[in-house]
Amino acid sequence: MAQLDEMLDQDAAIPLRADLEEHLRECDHCEITLNTTRKTIEIYRSHELYELPDDLRDRLHRAIVAKCRKC
Amino acid sequence: MSSSIQSQGAAEIHPDVLLVERARQGDMAAFEKLVRQYDRQVFRIAQHIVQNREDAEDVVQDAFLKAYQKLDQFQGNSKFYTWLVRIAVNEALMRLRKRRTGRMVSIDEDVETEEGSMPRDLADWSPDPEAMYGQSEMADILRKTIQGLPPGFRVVFALRDVDGLSTEETAETLGLSVPAVKSRLLRARLQLRERLSRYFKKREGNGSRAKQGQGGVK
């Protein structure tokens, strides 16, 4: 599992990477786990789950500036 | 996503450092610029922790106010953004504690779970999940799924994988060791993968199930 992590973060040293890549070619389970975990990260990265609408943003800015001026 | 890189070199001073300097001298426009630069990220991180929009709004206000009050304490040896996020994370955890009627909440809560440490659901995802669900339905699935994780996993995943901080920056921001961040990140990723598999895994003849109106958020 720790090696999977290194593959996800592209941290694996080159000799280890070659071994892992060879293993992945033979092991469906590891390959699926790696690919679907990569996809998990990708999907979360590409969707903004908590957007800050402009009207709320403006309201927050006004409130922040007003509070800071009172400091 | 934060694209700022703070140089420690004397020749290159990050624009944030200059804005902080101006804000310290009372230039409110400079501080407003910092607010505009990072409010979306702070709001997102707050939402990931408190899971509630009103509380997240309060966290954004309190975090920027506290940052403003503590500007003198910003040393410039870390990015302004990571310094700000550290304040926001603490504010969010305090807010979570208030909501839970005073019970202590920390980023260590519930992280000892074994869930996700070994992948169980080994089905491939097919067709591409993005093709199966519309944007808003996908966002609902992603929110619902990440809400099931302990706060200490959510925040590590949000900072490292969504916000793009490095492992070291995430560790510094949360006051955790690098190995602790790596361990939590892996388990967060695997738990999310496992939970998303319930929606995305390949089924016989499922085709574009969701887009045909049969697949909702469970």
Which domains does chain B carry?
15-99 (1.10.1740.10), 129-212 (1.10.10.10)
Tell me the C-alpha distance between B186 and B171, whole Å. Answer: 14
Q: Which residues contact B86 (CB under 8 A, 6 or more apart)?
A: B172, B173, B174, B175
Residue B89 has pLDDT above 50, yes or no: yes
Number of domains in chain A: 1
Helices B178-200 and A28-46 sit at what angle, rounded to 10 degrees?
90
Q: Which residue of B has its CA nearest to A39?
A: B193
Residues 11-50 of A with CB under 8 A from B: 28-29, 32-33, 35-37, 39-41, 43-45, 47-50
Minimal CA separation from A40 to chain B, in Å: 6
The answer to whether the CB atoms of A68 and B68 lie below 8 A apart is yes
pLDDT of residue B101: 65
Domain that holds residue A33: 2-70
Tell me the C-alpha distance between A40 and A42, whole Å. Answer: 5
**pLDDT tens digits for range B120-179:** 667 788 778 888 899 999 999 999 999 999 989 999 999 999 999 999 999 999 999 999
The answer to whether the CB atoms of B196 and A43 lie below 8 A apart is yes
**pLDDT tens digits for range B168-213:** 999 999 999 999 999 999 999 999 999 999 999 866 554 444 444 4
Q: Long-range pairs for B126-129 at CB < 8 Å and ≥24 separation?
A: B126/B202, B127/B207, B127/B208, B129/A39, B129/A43, B129/B196, B129/B199, B129/B200
pTM exceeds 0.95: no
Helix (H) or strand (E) holding B180: helix B178-200
Tell me the C-alpha distance between A36 and A42, whole Å. Answer: 10
Minimal CA separation from B77 to chain A, in Å: 24
Q: Which of B37, B28, B50, B30 is nearest to B1 (CA)?
A: B37
Cβ pairs bridging A and B (under 8 Å): 108
The answer to whether the CB atoms of A49 and B185 lie below 8 A apart is no
Q: Which residue of B has its CA nearest to A41?
A: B161
pLDDT of residue A19: 85
